[in-house]
Each structure stands twice: as C-alpha cells, then as structure tokens.
Amino acid sequence: MAADLRFKVVDEAFKRGPVEVKTPKERPSEYFGKYVFDKQKMFKYLPIDVYHKMCDVIDHGAPFDRAIADAVAQGIKTWALEMGVTHYTHWFQPLTDGTAEKHDGFVEHNGKGGMVEEFEGKLLIQQEPDASSFPSGGLRSTFEARGYSAWDPTSPVFIIGDTLMIPTIFIAYTGEALDYKVPLKKSLYAIDKAATAVAQLFNPDVKKVITNLGWEQEYFLVDEALYAARPDLVLTGRTLMGHDSAKNQQMDDHYFGSIPARVEEFMKDIEIQALELGIPVKTRHNEVAPNQFELAPIYEEANLAVDHNMLMMSIMKRVARKHHFRCLLHEKPFKGINGSGKHNNWSLATDTGILLHAPGKTPEDNLRFVTFIVETLKGVYNHNGLLKASIISATNAHRLGANEAPPAIISAFLGKTVTELLEHVENADDNALNMAGKQAYKIDLPSLPELLIDNTDRNRTSPFAFTGNRFEFRAVGSEANCACALLSLNTAVAQALTQFKQRVDTLTQQGIEPTAAILKAVREDIKYIKPLIFNGNGYGEAWKQEAAQRGLDCETSAPRMFDRYLTDNTIRMFEEMNVLTHAELLARNEIKWETYTKKIQIESRIFGDLCLNHIIPVVTKYQSMLIDNVHKVMEIFTQEKARNISKENINIIEQISEHEAFIIENVERMIEARKTSNRIDNERDKAIAYHDTVAPLLEEIRYHVDKLETIVDDEAWPLPKYRELLFIR
C-alpha cells in the first residue's frame, strides 16, 4: 500500500462521527424477544395441547413427538409470515467455530400454475446439507456427502431479516456428530443425570440439574478503512507486524473508562438487536487494552447460552460494518497489549436452588456445597490436560501464558475461605460446616453504607476460579465456540459425580450412615485434588516449575496438546458418559490438527508477501535515498567533514542492511520450512512441523520488521501503525 494512501485512510478514520442509532420507544423489557418464537408466541400460535407438549420438551427434556411437527410448523409459519419472513434455514454449528445456514423460500407449486407459501413439519424437523463440504475429520468424503441437520426444540427459532432461523444439530449419514451441539447436549444430559443423583442424597425432591452459563465476550474494534489497509488483519484477524505504540495500556486509563461516542452508538445498536433476539445482554464496558471492549449477558441454560453467543458474534460483526468498524474476535490482534478471552461462568442449579451456592442455612446444605465443589474439581483434575486441549488453538496460544490471561496450565483458585473450609472438612473439624455468610466492612465515612465482603477474592491469573456461586473458566478464547470447552468440562464433572455416587452407595451398603459415607468420600477426594488448588500468582515462573512437580499438564505446544483427546483416560470418559465415540474423537483431532496447520500456513503466506512486496521495497527505496544523500555530502564537503555529517545516515544504512538481509534470508527459510511440512501426510506430524519450524520464524522475522518501522521515515511506511489503529476518535 502506498504511504499516501495510509495517511488518507488514517485521516478518514479520525474524521468519522458516530452513526446515529434509532432507539425503540418501548422499554427493553417490552421488545425483548420480539423476533423469537418463545413460549408467549407458542401459546398464541399453537393448539393448547401442542403448546403443553412443547413446554414438556423444553422444560423437562421429554421426547419430541413427531406427530405434532406439522402443527408446530403451521404455527411458526403463521407468525413468521406476519413478521414479513419469506425464507427459512437450518442454523447449525459445524466444526469451524462459526455457524452455517442455507436459505429456502416458503414457496411451493399450488398445482394451478401459481405458488403458495408452504412450511410443513418435515421441513422444520430436518434438512440435508452436504456433509462432505464441512470439516469431518475423514468421517465423510466427497462421494459420501449425505448429512442431516435436525431441529433442536430446546433452543427457540428466531428471525433475522426476512429469514426464519431454526437452531439444529448436524450429523453424518452414519450418525456421527459433525458439530458442537450434539456432544454439548449429550454432556448436559450426562451431568444432569449424574448431578441429580448426587443432589438427591441431600434432597430427594430434586428432579433436575441445569447447567448455567454466563459468557463474557471481549473484542476489539478497528475503523474499517484502517482494517482494509492492513492485509494481515483482513486475512488472519491479527497484525503480523507492528511496533508498539508509545502509549498503549500502561496508564490503565482505558479499563472502565468513558466509552467513545462512536463505540457507544455501536454498543446501543448491538444491544437493541440482541434483546430483540432474546439475548439478555446486560453489561458493556471498556476493557484493558485500547480499542478493546466487553459485553456480557445474564446467565442462561448452557445450550441456549452457547447458541446466543454464536448469534451475538455474528451480530457484532454485521453491526460493526454499519458503524464503519470491523469487529476483531481474534484472541491476540495486537502484540504487546492484552488479548481477548471469553470467560465462561459455569454453574449448576436444581429446581430447588444453586448447588454451588454457599453458605447454606444448615451444615447439611454446606456439605452439599462442599460435595459439588470437590467433585467438580476432581473432574477438572482428572482431565486437566483435556480441558487445556479444549481451549487451545493457533489463535488462543498467542494469549495464554502472557501476563494478561491465564497460563497454559489448568489449576483452580478457591480463595482463603473455601480453601480453609476444605481443610477443616478433611481434618474432621466438628465446626467445619458452620460457614459464615458475607461479612460487613464499614468504611470510616458516616455517609457511606457498609460493604458486604464475599467469602472469596478474585484471581485473574487462574484459568478456573471459584467466584462465589460459580466457577469462571477464564481460558476460553474470544472467537471460540463455548461448547468445545463446555462439553469437556461437563463430561469430566459428570464422570466424577457418577463415581462419587457409586462410592457412597457402596459405603452405605456396608452399613455406614449416609452422611458419614458422604463425608468419607469427600475427605478422600479433598486429599486427591490438592495438586489442582493454587491460590497464588499463576503468571510467575515459579508456578510453572511447581505445577510440573505437582503432576499437572504443562505442555505448551497446541498440536501436542490435542493428543489429550486421544488418551485412554479421555476416550473411556467420553464413551462411558455417552458423549463422544472413539471415532468422533479421532475425527475431531484430525480437524484440530488440520485447522492449526492451515492457520499458520495462511499467516506465513501473507507475512512473506508483506515482507517481500510491501516492506522490503519501501525500505530499499528509503535506504537508497540515504545513500544518495551520503554521496552528495561527500561531493560537497571534505572527506572528514562529510564523514561527520553523514555519520548518523551511514549508521542507519548499516542497520537497514542488517535487518533487510535477515528478513530476506529467513523469509526464504520460512517458505522452505512450509514446503517441507506440506509434504508430510500425517496431519498431527504436519501440525507439529508447522508449530516447530514455521511459527517461530514468524516471530523472529517480525522483530526485524518492527525495528525497521522505527527507522524508516514515517511518511514512507506503507501500513497503518499501532498508534493509528488503536485509538478511536
């Protein structure tokens, strides 16, 4: 890109004002769910008996009766046509971390030469996408293309534009899951079954356990003109080169700061659209890094929450363009400042209360709390390597381990109060289960109210932290599908709870009183999970050494981490809990390795192109200008005086030559490393080769490019710089 174009797009970006958003006259509570076929609309458009059957499916997991499909489809069609809808689509989540949809019209021949709007139950229930055209890990090939999408009645249909969106699962003709929703729903069923059985040890009236999820979505905004002038951002989602801005986040003035006017209008717009689609967004604020922001909804049932997060990311990208922004969901768009995560606040609740809530009213309630805390941690400890594999990717690897995000080691933070509680229970302290509630803290100013202090602090360096009535799984990447991490966590906890119940049953059969049996099993598990509990600084080098001594998984290579999906322990867990088969795990790993390779491959290609076709020509031209200046000085002045005058320019010429030589030589090395890796047939070995030989060169070469950025005349540099990209006017 020519330097004059850079200044033109920077000037254009800085002159933009906010795009005015038309705010609905109603209160949010009045237009919430406007475009969702929720229970209120079901009651209006469905026959009453069909309505009750649908409620039973949604609320209690009853089997869906295909006999009511036509009646449901008719009701949905009537509502959709009233809303101006002309098309419908099955909306699903293939193994791409995105969503997919194929739109069909509500039209059929009427037999009289005309058309009629038609939408039958069979069209609502299933469609047939081409399964060979989505990642399948070898489960489907080009000549075995059949696959099915099938309606998920527990996630309501909704409208975007003129299209009815039907949330669905996606499976192969042979039955294997080709998406995230199928195993997620199976994991939710597994944890419901296991947790309900344990909860009934304390309260026989418990009928169901629901997994709740509250995701916090971090993201960056960049002006679209600046975005278009950065080929690396366009093609990879992150800047592959760029020197630090003199000012970035070191003043801590962006976090929770005043939201820029342009951004606030964008936020209003996405919130209105989200609320109309039934997404209960509640929080918005500036994040730590410049141009970084966050939104978060109220907690929801996990399956619905995942659907809403996928929909929200789509809304954010679409609305950003309306406001002349581009929304960046890459975990690390800019080097040297905070990356973006998606904190998953995970909790379990029954039809009688929250299982992870403490303190309870009685020691029995607190024993229930301790039991579910400990068994959750046991599941995490047993499969800490798997949980790390579930959140790692080529993009999230840039964020994890930096001093802004959890380290690539899974540990759990409980805080002083809960940690001491477990110690007292382990040591059979008679008063262990008499927990205190929130303590009051009076500020020494008469006009201010007392503060209620929680039983646990927060630890931003912990990937899995207990924060009151939930665990915060902080390591999930900002552009990831939450389901990938969630299904592994659910399944691990379901297995731990299942085994716990079996042990308690065995003890009671041996004549041990039920409460004593629970305490005995819990105390054994408290001792077992101790290596997982860490309340200190997860960023410190000392922790890495200590974690290794504790036996925690400390692997940092993403392709090697994926191996954790195929250990005997992992395969056995997923098959016992009926979540994923061995064949499905093999297929998913093939996809993970292949995706990793492709992302590094794309980055390497665009990086090489930028170096050789954008940076080197500009640098060479600038260097030639300096050389010409030195020659002219030599012609005018005496040799000694000319040498003194040109000393600095000669020094710059030498620096440029060194950086240029390194870049050119190592871009060639990178290309050869890529070619060598591409000849490897095994996807795992290829991904490891890309990790070990190609990815490191990206960083090594970048160092020299970034140095050149500080040397070359600002007017000559072709790409928008960090100081221009990172501050919205």
Q: Is the pLDDT of residue 321 over 50?
A: yes
pLDDT band for 420, please (50, 70, 90 cuts): confident
d(CA 34, CA 93): 24
pLDDT (tens digit per residue) in 528-550? 999 999 988 888 888 889 999 99
DSSP secondary structure code for residue 612 in this structure:
I
d(CA 387, CA 381): 9
DSSP secondary structure code for residue 487 in this structure:
H
Q: Please state which of the ranges 46-50, 97-101, 443-447, 503-507 shows the lowest mean pLDDT.
A: 443-447
pLDDT (tens digit per residue) in 431-444? 666 555 555 545 45
Q: What was the pLDDT predicted at 461?
A: 75
Share of the chain above pLDDT 90, in %: 71
Going by C-alpha positions, the residue among 20, 490, 32 that lies closest to residue 297 is: 32
- Between 508 and 650, residue with greater pLDDT: 508
Q: What was the pLDDT predicted at 405?
A: 64
Name 682's Cβ contacts closer than 8 Å, sequence gap at least 6: none
Going by C-alpha positions, the residue among 195, 134, 577 that lies closest to residue 355 is: 195
- H/E element holding 80? helix 69-82
By the 8 A CB rule, do 629 and 649 touch? yes
Beta strand 464-466 with 412-413: parallel, antiparallel or unpaired? parallel
d(CA 36, CA 51): 16
Q: Is the pLDDT of residue 671 over 70?
A: yes
d(CA 39, CA 85): 19
Q: Is the pLDDT of residue 160 over 60?
A: yes
Neighbours of 61 (CB within 10 A): 14
Structure token pair of residue 374: 């400990």
Structure token pair of residue 129: 């996408």
- Residue 307 CA, distance from chain mean position: 13
The partner residues of 89 in beta bridges, in order of sequence, read: 103, 165
Q: Is the pLDDT of residue 451 over 50?
A: no
By the 8 A CB rule, do 41 and 34 touch? no
pLDDT (tens digit per residue) in 335-386? 999 999 999 999 999 988 888 887 667 788 889 999 999 999 999 999 999 9
Q: Is the pLDDT of residue 515 over 80?
A: yes
d(CA 190, CA 194): 6
What b-and-e string marks burial along 606-632, b requiring 16 or more CB atoms within 10 Å of the CB?
bbbebbeebbbebbeebbeebeeebee
Residues 33-42, mean pLDDT to the nearest whole number: 96
Neighbours of 107 (CB within 10 A): 14
Q: Count how many residues are written for the chain.
A: 729
d(CA 387, CA 487): 10
Q: What is the largest CA-CA distance in the chain?
A: 105
- Residue 513 CA, distance from chain mean position: 44
572 three-state secondary structure: helix
Neighbours of 586 (CB within 10 A): 16
Task: Round the average pLDDT of the chain to a whole number and report it.
Answer: 90
Beta strand 209-223 with 292-297: parallel, antiparallel or unpaired? antiparallel
By the 8 A CB rule, do 148 and 127 touch? yes
Name 699's Cβ contacts closer than 8 Å, sequence gap at least 6: none
d(CA 90, CA 79): 17
Asked, as a colleague might, if the bond just before 359 is cis with ω within 30 of 0, I would say: yes
pLDDT (tens digit per residue) in 558-581? 999 999 999 999 999 999 999 999
Helix axes 582-610, 695-711, angle to 10 degrees: 30
The separation between the first and the last C-alpha atoms of the chain, rounded to the nearest angstrom, is: 23
The partner residues of 286 in beta bridges, in order of sequence, read: 293
Q: Is the pLDDT of residue 88 over 60?
A: yes
Q: What angle do CA 407, 411, 412 make, to 5 degrees?
A: 125
Going by C-alpha positions, the residue among 392, 408, 305, 407 that lies closest to residue 347 is: 305
Amino acid identity at 137: G
Give the DSSP per-residue string, 361-423.
SSHHHHHHHHHHHHHHHHHHHHTHHHHHHHH--TTGGGTTTSTTS--SS--EE-HHHHHHHHH
Q: What was the pLDDT predicted at 452?
A: 46
pLDDT (tens digit per residue) in 590-649? 999 999 999 999 999 999 999 999 999 999 999 999 888 887 878 788 777 767 777 888
d(CA 107, CA 430): 71
By the 8 A CB rule, do 119 and 142 touch? no
- What is the pTM for the complete model shown? 0.94
Q: What was the pLDDT predicted at 217?
A: 97
d(CA 510, CA 712): 80
Structure token pair of residue 625: 């200008």
d(CA 395, CA 385): 18
